[in-house]
């Protein structure tokens, strides 16, 4: 049997004739290793000069450090760019889908208003913004959803529910089919004082059932809606604190329900019936007699045929004498009565204007556009009756202003009391009717010509008079 030949590589004892130490017993390195490992192998280094061995070791360390540094620089650059991007998003108030924190209720209201003006479907950012706003809704006193273009039924419901305890004024868009759902969210314990559901024509029965629960209501706007007399009669047993009632252009009203509701609210301070032309003359008399002494603002535009006989009763509500202290500190009875009167499209003449002047000594605002009043007669009334009238709108689109009218216009403009005067008329050099506005600014008189068909003036007046009173009604004292 042949004796095996020792492998000097595999058996170091045979190769060296010495006892192996721990180093020589280490597992051999694989044949195919890193280039630098091959440079350091015993078989190579044993025959290389010392300077070359040092060179290769330094080269290895240099290349390893260089590669590590290069990799670290690339990753670091990516991280830096990402940090800069996140910082820029944070500066814009939105880091990804996380909105900028809201500090107070005022900021939440402003951001909600901006959010509702957006069009289209809610994005992730919009949803995140709404979620950020919602916790602050518990401090909202007013919600105006007229201009909402973005929030859906679910979000509006959550919003109203969150604001219930603090909510005082709620203005809804009558075109929204979910109004009955929104009102059902509010409990009987809510302290809602003003509700605007104008232009609502559907689900009126269900909506009125909800309105009945809001016994703290002071302002109710049902204008341009489909409500009828039965709906208003249903409110008389629960609503007793109304200060403002707007029933403008409600074609289903004949007047019985209006009289019932007004009779239950003697504190009513503002009533708008303009263009509700189906209210009968008989019921206008009932409504006029039901009005209490607190009435200050009355809108009867477009109702000349129906309400003319009841005009005097409207202008002089029963018990309109109040005990007040005069400038000398003496108690005296002073008739307050109407302060704002809208009788547009009544064709008011001189006699009827005199009736108004005699019964409304505290009148400050008068709209009698489309009237037949002479400027000379109006000027005389300022001398004897109109002691507080500051804003007056009169004239007729087809009326031509002659030289006498121009002279009386100058005389009226010179009255210090008048702040704004609108004269509608027609001149020889203009084919369309125009409006002359006269305003006092630093004691000077300014005239402006404006093309108009009269309707825009009516809407502007309602906006100026109704909305401030709607938001902040004050009982007369």
Least confident of 31-40, 213-222, 301-310, 394-403: 31-40
Task: List pLDDT tens digits, range 106-124.
Answer: 999 999 999 999 988 888 9
Which tokens is 3 given? 């004796």
Torsion sign (Cα): 402, 407, 410, 414: negative
Mean pLDDT over 377-393 rounds to: 89
Q: What is the DSSP string of 261-302?
A: HHHT-TT--EEE-TT-TTS-HHHHHHHHHH--TT--EEE-TT
Residue 387 lies in a domain: no
Residue 51 lies in a domain: yes
Instruction: Identify the burial level of 121 via C-beta atoms within 10 angstroms of its C-beta, where 0-12 means exposed, 13-18 middle and 19 or more buried.
Output: exposed
Task: Give the count of domains, the chain.
Answer: 1
- At residue 365, the 3 state secondary structure works out as strand
Which tokens is 62 given? 């240099």
Residue 275 lies in a domain: no
Domain that holds residue 41: 33-92
- At residue 134, the 3 state secondary structure works out as helix
Query: Residues 223, 466: contact at Cβ < 8 Å?
Result: no
Q: In angstroms, what CA-CA distances link 359 with 44, 313, 335, 340, 424?
A: 124, 10, 9, 13, 25
Task: List pLDDT tens digits, range 392-414.
Answer: 888 887 777 777 877 887 788 78
Question: Does residue 432 surpass a pLDDT of 70?
Answer: no
pTM: 0.71
Residue 83 lies in a domain: yes
- At residue 51, the 3 state secondary structure works out as helix
Residue 46 lies in a domain: yes
Question: Does residue 430 surpass a pLDDT of 60?
Answer: no
What is the share, in percent, of the chain residues with pLDDT greater than 90?
Answer: 41
362 vs 69: which has the higher pLDDT: 362
Q: Which helix (H) or strand (E) holds 398?
A: strand 391-400
Q: In angstroms, what CA-CA distances link 74 with 67, 70, 87, 98?
A: 11, 6, 20, 29
Residue 448 lies in a domain: no
Task: Write the CB contacts of 24 (distance below 8 Å, at least 6 apart in sequence).
Answer: 12
Residue 45 lies in a domain: yes
Residue 86 lies in a domain: yes
């Amino acid at each position: 049997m042949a004796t095996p030949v020792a492998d000097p590589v595999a058996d170091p004892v045979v190769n060296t004739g010495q006892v192996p130490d721990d180093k020589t017993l280490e597992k051999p390195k694989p044949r195919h290793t890193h280039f630098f490992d091959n440079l350091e192998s015993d078989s190579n280094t044993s025959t290389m000069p010392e300077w070359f061995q040092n060179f290769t070791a330094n080269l290895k360390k240099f290349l390893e450090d260089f590669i590590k540094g290069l990799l670290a620089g690339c990753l670091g650059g990516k991280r830096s760019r990402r940090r800069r991007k996140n910082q820029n998003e944070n500066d814009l108030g939105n880091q990804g889908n996380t909105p900028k924190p809201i500090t107070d209720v005022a900021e939440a209201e402003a951001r909600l208003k901006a959010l509702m003006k957006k069009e289209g479907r809610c994005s992730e950012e919009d949803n995140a913004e709404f979620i950020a706003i919602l916790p602050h809704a518990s401090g909202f006193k007013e919600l105006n959803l007229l201009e909402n273009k973005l929030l859906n039924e679910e979000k509006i419901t959550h919003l109203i529910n969150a604001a219930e305890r603090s909510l005082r004024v709620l203005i809804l868009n009558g075109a929204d089919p979910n109004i009955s759902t929104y009102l059902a969210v509010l409990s009987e314990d809510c302290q809602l004082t003003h509700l605007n559901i104008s232009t609502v024509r559907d689900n009126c029965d269900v909506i009125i059932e909800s309105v009945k629960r809001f016994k703290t209501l002071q302002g109710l706007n049902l204008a341009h809606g489909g409500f009828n007399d039965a709906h208003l009669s249903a409110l008389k047993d629960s609503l007793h604190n109304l200060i403002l009632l707007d029933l403008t252009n409600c074609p289903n009203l004949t007047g019985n329900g209006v009289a019932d509701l007004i009779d239950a609210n003697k504190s009513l301070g503002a009533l708008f019936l303009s263009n509700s032309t189906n209210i009968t003359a008989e019921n206008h008399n009932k409504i006029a007699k039901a009005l209490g002494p607190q009435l200050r603002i009355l809108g009867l535009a477009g109702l000349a045929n129906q309400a003319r006989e009841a005009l005097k009763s409207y202008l002089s509500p029963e018990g309109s004498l109040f005990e007040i202290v005069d400038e000398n500190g003496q108690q005296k009875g002073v008739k307050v009565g109407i302060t704002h009167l809208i009788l547009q499209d009544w064709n008011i003449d001189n006699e009827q204007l005199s009736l108004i002047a005699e019964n409304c000594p505290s009148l400050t605002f008068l709209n009698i556009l489309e009237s037949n009043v002479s400027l000379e007669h109006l000027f005389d009334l300022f001398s004897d009756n109109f002691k507080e009238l500051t804003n007056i709108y009169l004239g007729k689109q087809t009326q031509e202003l002659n030289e006498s009218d121009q002279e009386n216009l100058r005389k009226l403009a010179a009255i210090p009391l008048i702040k704004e005067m609108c004269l509608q008329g027609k001149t020889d050099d203009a084919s369309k009717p125009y409006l002359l506005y006269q305003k006092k600014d630093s004691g000077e008189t300014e005239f402006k010509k404006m093309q108009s068909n009269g309707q825009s003036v009516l809407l502007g007046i309602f906006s100026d008079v109704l909305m401030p009173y709607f938001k902040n009604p004050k009982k007369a004292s």
